[in-house]
A and B are shown apart, each in its own frame.
Chain A
Amino acid sequence: KNEVEQSPQNLTAQEGEFITINCSYSVGISALHWLQQHPGGGIVSLFMLSSGKKKHGRLIATINIQEKHSSLHITASHPRDSAVYICAVRPGWNSGGSNYKLTFGKGTLLTVNP
């Protein structure tokens, strides 16, 4: 079982819809990242979270440390939001593993149709 689980794996939406992508993890973490990757493109860091909630434009990321769960929301989705969204965690010092390497989720492929 992967230490980082994302859902859904694939998501198709109509322009303007509200999008939610979920990430659950099984280890203690020091930080959680939400990353965006367009087809054939590089990695873009959207958020780094260790607690609470962050907002940037139409994107909102939340994390619940007790429940080991994070969500990425996109409001008023647009076709340019179509990309793979990846959740990645940096384990905490007491997680039993390396504190330094990220563990990646499998990614969520989002397609927003006009």
Chain B
Amino acid sequence: AAGVIQSPRHLIKEKRETATLKCYPIPRHDTVYWYQQGPGQDPQFLISFYEKMQSDKGSIPDRFSAQQFSDYHSELNMSSLELGDSALYFCASSPRQGNYGYTFGSGTRLTVV
């Protein structure tokens, strides 16, 4: 079965550079969620999208932006990268309606040097 696809799997960037992470949900899932997990930390909710509109916002820095496209894939854009942005960024998708759980991507590990 198709899963949530994230790209790239690993990314190394220098301070002050920009990065774009991509998340492709499974078919028929209209909602995408982004989480950030720092080293040894719990996952922190960043932002979610439903039907191409932002549906909820968590602890996402102003330097980050995200959007969901017409094919439901989502991109997380990160600018002016800082060392503290080094983390695992994973996304998940779900149908918005009903009592369903998430399908998780395996994540993008970002290292800022």
One digit per residue, 1 when the CB lies within 8 angstroms of any chain A CB and 0 when it does not, for chain B 71-113 equals 0000000000000000010101010100111111111010000
Say whether A42 contacts B56, CB under 8 Å: no
- Supposing A100-B55, A100-B96 touch, asked if A43 and B45 sit within 8 A by C-beta, the answer is no
Total residues of chain B contacting the partner, CB 8 A: 26
Smallest Cβ-Cβ distance to B31: which chain A residue: A100
Q: Is A62 located at the chain interface by the 8 A CB criterion?
A: no
Q: Is B43 located at the chain interface by the 8 A CB criterion?
A: yes
Q: Is A45 located at the chain interface by the 8 A CB criterion?
A: yes
Say whether B58 contacts A45, CB under 8 Å: no
Say whether B33 contacts A100, CB under 8 Å: yes
- Write the nearest CB–CB distance from A22 to chain B, whole angstroms: 18
- CB-CB contacts below 8 Å: A15-55 with B: 30-33, 35, 40-45, 48, 50
- Supposing A43-B106, A44-B106 touch, asked if A101 and B56 sit within 8 A by C-beta, the answer is yes
Q: Is A98 located at the chain interface by the 8 A CB criterion?
A: yes
Say which residue of A32, A101, A106 sits within 8 Å of B45 (CB atoms).
Answer: A101
Docked complex Cα distance between A101 and B43 (Å): 11
- Write the nearest CB–CB distance from A16 to chain B, whole angstroms: 29
Q: Is A102 located at the chain interface by the 8 A CB criterion?
A: yes
Residues of B within 8 A of A48 (CB): 101-102
Smallest Cβ-Cβ distance to B44: which chain A residue: A104
Which A residues lie at the B interface, using CB under 8 A?
30-33, 35, 40-45, 48, 50, 90, 92-93, 98, 100-102, 104, 106-107
Which B residues lie at the A interface, using CB under 8 A?
9, 31, 33, 35, 42-43, 45, 48, 55-56, 58, 88, 90, 92, 94, 96, 99-107, 109
